[in-house]
Amino acid sequence: MFRRREPDPFRSNVAPPPRERSSAGQIAGRCLFGLTLAAGIAGALILGMPALSQDPSPAQTQHSVASDGR
C-alpha cells in the first residue's frame, strides 16, 4: 500500500538526449494555430459585446400604423 522510500534517492548522471529542433513548418503551424485561437476569442468578444451590454436608454417602442389613425 505504501512505498518505502530509498535512503538515498537514485540520481542518474546520464543526461537525456537533446531535443530535436522544431522545423520552420512546425513553428509556422504553431504560430498560425495561436493566431487562429486569438482571432476566434477576439471575434467572439466583438460579436458578443452587444448582447452583454446594458442599454441605459429604453428601447424604441414599436407601434403599428393602424393605431395612428385612432
Q: What is the mean pLDDT of the chain?
A: 81
What pLDDT band is residue 4 in, cutting at 50, 70 and 90?
A: low
pLDDT 10s digits, 36-66: 999 999 999 999 888 878 776 555 566 666 6
- Identify the pLDDT of residue 12: 73
- Burial profile 24-56: b = 16 or more Cβ within 10 angstroms, e = fewer: eeeeeeeeeeeeeeeeeeeeeeeeeeeeeeeee
